[in-house]
Structures are given as structure tokens and as C-alpha cells.
Amino acid sequence: MSAIYAPSASIAGTPAKAGPARLAFLLLFPGFFFYQTLIGMGAMSAFLGGYFSVVSIGLFPPLAYMVYVGMKGSGHRVTFTDLHFGFFLSYFFVIVVTNAAFGANTTIVKTHLLSILYFINIYLIFRQTDFSERKTITITLATLLLMSATIFFFSREGSFQPGEFGDPTDPDSVATYQALARSYVLTFVTVICFIRVLAVRLVLSAVAVAALFLNGARSELVATLFLLPMIELYRAKHWLPFLYLLLLVSGLAGIDPKLLANHFPGSRIWELFDLSHSSSANARHELTEHALHTIAENPLLGAYASYPPGGYSHNILSAWVDLGFFGFVYMLFMLSRAAVGLCTHGWLVRPRSGHFLLAWSLMCISLLLLVTAKTFDDMFFGAAMGAYANYRSRKQLREAPDNVEGEGP
């Protein structure tokens, strides 16, 4: 399992220690998964509540200090991506605080303030971490396999729901299946993008698809299935293995879902084959209609928190509703700028870069989810922007005249 050994560029452009950011990643995502599984089983009490907010608050000071030290000791400064993302978060914060002062729903205000904190932490983690480092690959791979084994072992009737098969002492603190899937997908992507061996990638991909199927998070499963062919296309040295993969995926897609539904009756995935009977799909359609109505009435400023808690539109239109037209357009600008930059500076470049593949993968997932299933404050957006900034800073460092480029993936 090979990895890049080029200098590790931090937010300030200097070699950075991977340890703190790597530890923060492991605590926020695999740590969240295992904590939630244990409290869902009733193996321990929810002594950290829902975990994510508490741990995020605790991680912010060391992550901020790490960035400060890196900037202080370097002649380089922040990049345009850092500035754009920082401006977006500042604008988001001003909108939330202003509307809170005028009596906006406190539950929604609290949720958005936490979202800003999550964005900062996740951006810094993916901005700083060298996921190509051999030690990082080993740890994240072992963690991914343990997460997969947990899902397989504790699934019941084709469904992995810790709060249902266990006896939690704090059921209100047990996370949803979407939150567990988010942790799993982020861990999987950080591993698969740095694996060179085709056979290993295919095995890990099959394990991940099976685990997400049992988890029941339809959006994350579809995003992963959408992503896997692109990873193989980018990594392919010859077209034949990629053709075989496409034929295999096409063959699996042709299997009658009823044959599997009898063996996995508890899986929510079957709703994908008939969305007209999906209560979730119908509810999301109604919420989108409500968002469009709100936008039509308030096209410039939007209408912050004009919905009950949880009643937001499950797509990027939520940005227009809460942040107004400017916030919506600025978010689209950041995403399109990064996506175009990745297309023009990465796909045809040799040698292949795992850091490019990570940024591209997270960007594709984020765009797909923002169009179909998630709100504008979805964490994949922050991870994608951080990974893009990480890739661009490494690319610029490799292109510097006095830099000696390490081995590419």
C-alpha cells in the first residue's frame, strides 16, 4: 500500500505534523460511530450526550492553535479557498446572530451556530491532515474494517440500528442512521482514495456498499455507488478492468430487488425502487415545494427560520431560504470554482494524486447530496472544501522551484 511522501503542506504552506488533525478526525467520525453504537446497545450511558457537539467544542481550541502556530512560523499565508470559506462562514454567522436578535427560533439558531463550529473543525481537519501518510492509512483502514465488522455483526433483518436491537439508557442521545452513515462514508473515502492496488480497492468497495446497505442510509449509499466508478476510472492504467467493473455493476443493477427483499425485509433501501410509496421522499418533496414558495415571496433576503425545526428543504435551496440570494449564489460560486479547478488541474495530470482523488470524491458527494438530499450546512461541504484547499496547497508546493517532489500515488 503505497503513499505519497511529498512534504505535507499545512494551511500556512509549511510542513505540518499530521498527528493532531488525524486524531481530531478519528475522534469526530469513527469515534462518533463507536460511541453511538455503544450507547445504542446499552453498553454504556451517554456521558457525552450526543457526542458530536461536545467533542467538536473540545477540539476547536487545539485545532485553532495548530493553525495559528503554522501560520506564525511561515512566510506563506492563507489561500483564496481559505478566504472564500472563511467569508462564507462569517456571512453565515452574521445572518444567524442578526435573526436571533430579532427573535428567530432558538432551536434553529442553536443548530446553525453548531453547524458553523462543525464547518470550521471539519475544514481544518481535511485542510491539515495528510491522509497519504502510511501511519494514517494504516489507522484509518483498521478503523474502517472495525466499523464494517460492527455493522455486519449487529445487523438484524438487514438493518443496522443500534437503538433498536439494544436497550439504550439514553434513547434521546442515540444518533440517526444518517449520522452513522456520514461517519462511515467519510472514513471510507479517506481510505479508498489512497489505495493503489485494484484488488484491495474492489474488496473494500464491496464491503462498504454492503455495510451502507445494512445501515439503510439511501443517500449515502447512492453517493458511494456513484463515486466508485469514477475512482476506478481515475486509477485505471488500462481500460479492461474498468470495463469489467462497469459490467459487474450493470449486472448487479439488473437483479430483481424482490429476490433480496425477502432476505433483508428491514432495509429501507428498497424504497429507492418505488419512491411513490416512500414517506421520506414524499415529505422531502413537500418541503421543497414550501421552500420554493418561500423563495418566491422573499427572493432577495430569503426568510431565515421560516419553518419549524426539522422542516427545512433537503437540498441546496435551503441556503436561499436561510441565507438569502447572496448566500445561495456565493455557495454555488465556491462549489463551482472548486469543481472546475479540480477538473482542469487534476484529471489529466500525471502522476496520479490521492489528494486530488480525495478532494474530487468529496466534492462529487457534496454536490450530489446538496442537489438531492441534504441542507446547505451538510458536513460533506466543509470536508470537500478543506480537501480541495489541501490538494491545491500541495500542488503549489510541488510546483515550487526549490521543492523536491515525492513519489506520487
299-334 confidence digits (pLDDT tens): 999 999 999 998 899 999 999 999 999 999 999 999
Confidence class for position 248, pLDDT limits 50, 70, 90: low
213-233 confidence digits (pLDDT tens): 888 888 899 999 999 988 988
Please give the Cα distance from 119 to 387 (Å, whole number). 13
Whether the per-residue pLDDT at 272 is higher than 60: the answer is: no
Task: For residues 237-250, give the mean pLDDT.
Answer: 64
Residue 373 pLDDT: 87
Residue 12 pLDDT: 38
Quick check: 36 and 51 in contact, CB under 8 A?
yes
Nearest 5°: phi and psi at 2? -90, 160
**Average of per-residue pLDDT values in the chain:** 83
Residue 11 pLDDT: 41
Cross-strand partners of 159: 156
Whether the per-residue pLDDT at 116 is higher than 50: the answer is: yes
Burial 34-70 (b: 16+ CB within 10 A, else e): ebbbbbbbbeeebebebbbeebbeebbeebeebbeeb
Tell me the C-alpha to C-alpha distance, in Å, between residue 18 and each of 28, 34, 42, 131, 366.
16, 23, 34, 8, 24
Quick check: 258 and 308 in contact, CB under 8 A?
no
Q: What angle do CA 234, 239, 243 make, to 5 degrees?
A: 100
Whether the per-residue pLDDT at 256 is higher than 90: the answer is: no
Other Cβ atoms closer than 10 A to 135: 12
